Structure 1
């Protein structure tokens, strides 16, 4: 479910970052795409809303039917300048990367891969699971202080859960701190990511210095009277101390938040950088199959890509 990101999702200019706003309810449609064999709904990035905190990408995949030998089927591909956070709500996915990691992701377990200056990975059928596959992959933009560092991988089989007030549901903390419960995953900027399993309307505490958004995976919920169906991003702005979620039926949603990301980013394909020169260098390294992105032990074909659109535009002059 990794990328790719094009100009339809994120414009070529770094200026359109989607600056944080005062508290609001800004509902935007996702864009439907196909990643590998699976239909995805891309809620982030969108034109005018590049980031929410350091969160810069959200692909809700499925639900889709998969077999033991055919699932996502996304061959080896590279990343720079980001972390991929994979959260499966139904089914199983096999992750392999150039660090030698080989990990089946199951519901309730979290994969976090840190790209730093370069990593590659593949997302595959498990060889044993047949059934429904659904989940979300999120990207986290890395700050200047760490984005040139080494790649890393972590898998968390046990994540902390906390009950919401009034028996409205439960929250699983993926990243950061939520009501005093802290998730185990690495994060390089102040950040929060929470899976909300809601059975009834709930008031969720928020950090006023964070900007926040909600992505609904299934169910029916409204924010201040505005419906937020699956397939849309509800951007909430900055400055809220709490959020009232009006639940019309059992709902599964992700709460994402963080300090507004201070650095303009440039996104193209599977890369998050700052300049076109950085992206050009990463593309050249992948095309040349040099050692920057290592090798992934996968039977799937390596994914090629043509040059960035600005190179093509320059060549047409």
Structure 2
């Protein structure tokens, strides 16, 4: 997915400095339109001023359930990425994916599509005619220094459902509840969808070296005894070997669990680019605007524009934004 904000903020994301506090930090979303007067809106919980990363997860967009007959659905023209992997995970609907690595495929509920941008890739995303309601998450993973120029790549996987007492789990990245995803990443990661029965409480054994984030899609839950409302993301610092999650709703609750060891590199994230310096971001933008082979071309996309133009850079050096102290 593209960050289609007309004036994207420059973010220099410092390495996280967890305090090993078992308390749950609540991150609230902000609404971001995906362009146009009938635009579909997404709820963005990462990055924000209170947190830059959860593991190497650096971007969390949560959208829907969205009636595409009124919103127009998703139609994101070819756009570039560098220095990251994109993770698409749907609850409802279908999205057609095309990229400059030659991949043409569908994003469907319960199936992960992971695209590696590395040195440069471009792709388009369009909700299909079969879709009436679109609902899911779009996630980005920052690549570490040794992998950020990796070649373009694409992986698809449909995880099995793991039944627990009062819940079921789909593990799309990493390992949880005795199941392991075969999808390759460049840093250790955890990604899973959990459905909790009304009133259910579960305890998940997790890697205590990871920090974790719990995004509430439907219903409401408590994490370590602290309430996390719908659309909020609860953050837990490393040092916690067990996650206690309880459904507080009179209906099934759905959450997305993300995790990974603290990402110890600084990055600059502007528009759809992840880099390390101001000059690097400038060069990425110039290459995209010039139609450079660095990003390649998407075949088969039909839309109002053939590609998304890059926004103008701010009239200032891209500057750091640090996590609050304490």
When normalised by structure 2's length, the TM-score is: 0.88
| Aligned 8 A contact 1:2 1:137 in 2 | no
| Aligned 8 A contact 1:11 1:47 in 2 | no
CA RMSD of aligned residues (A): 1.9
User: Which of 192-201 and 112-121 deviates more?
Assistant: 192-201
Q: Indicate how the Cα distance of structure 1 residues 308 and 193 shifts in structure 2: closer, same or farther if over 3 A, else same.
A: same
Q: Which residue, 46, 49, 52 being the options, matches 1:47? A: 49
Separation in 2, partners of 1:236, 1:217: 18
Structure 1 runs not aligned, ≥5 long: none
| Aligned 8 A contact 2:10 2:270 in 1 | no
Match of 1:205 in 2: 205
Equivalent residues in 2 for 1:155-234, closer than 5 Å: 155-156=156-157, 158-164=158-164, 167-199=165-197, 200-234=200-234
Match of 1:140 in 2: 141
Match of 1:25 in 2: 24
| Aligned 8 A contact 2:114 2:154 in 1 | yes
Between the two structures, name the one with larger relative contact order (CA 8 Å, sep ≥ 6). 2
Separation in 2, partners of 1:119, 1:181: 31
Separation in 1, partners of 2:276, 2:316: 19
The alignment covers a number of residue pairs equal to: 305
| Aligned 8 A contact 2:177 2:204 in 1 | no
When normalised by structure 1's length, the TM-score is: 0.91
Note the C-alpha offset of 1:71: 2.4
Note the C-alpha offset of 1:11: 5.4
Equivalent residues in 2 for 1:18-167, closer than 5 Å: 18-22=16-20, 23-36=22-35, 37-66=39-68, 70-126=72-128, 128-156=129-157, 158-164=158-164, 167=165
Separation in 2, partners of 1:227, 1:11: 32
Separation in 1, partners of 2:224, 2:190: 22
Structure 2 runs not aligned, ≥5 long: 318-326
Separation in 2, partners of 1:11, 1:270: 11
| Aligned 8 A contact 1:111 1:155 in 2 | yes
Separation in 2, partners of 1:211, 1:185: 20
Separation in 1, partners of 2:10, 2:311: 18
| Aligned 8 A contact 1:5 1:270 in 2 | no
Match of 1:264 in 2: 266
Match of 1:242 in 2: 242
Q: Indicate how the Cα distance of structure 1 residues 269 and 163 shifts in structure 2: closer, same or farther if over 3 A, else same.
A: same
The C-alpha deviation readout for 1:131-187, integer Å capped at 9, x for no partner, is: 11100001011111111121111222x3133222xx211110010111331112221
| Aligned 8 A contact 1:4 1:268 in 2 | no
| Aligned 8 A contact 2:12 2:269 in 1 | no
Note the C-alpha offset of 1:223: 1.9
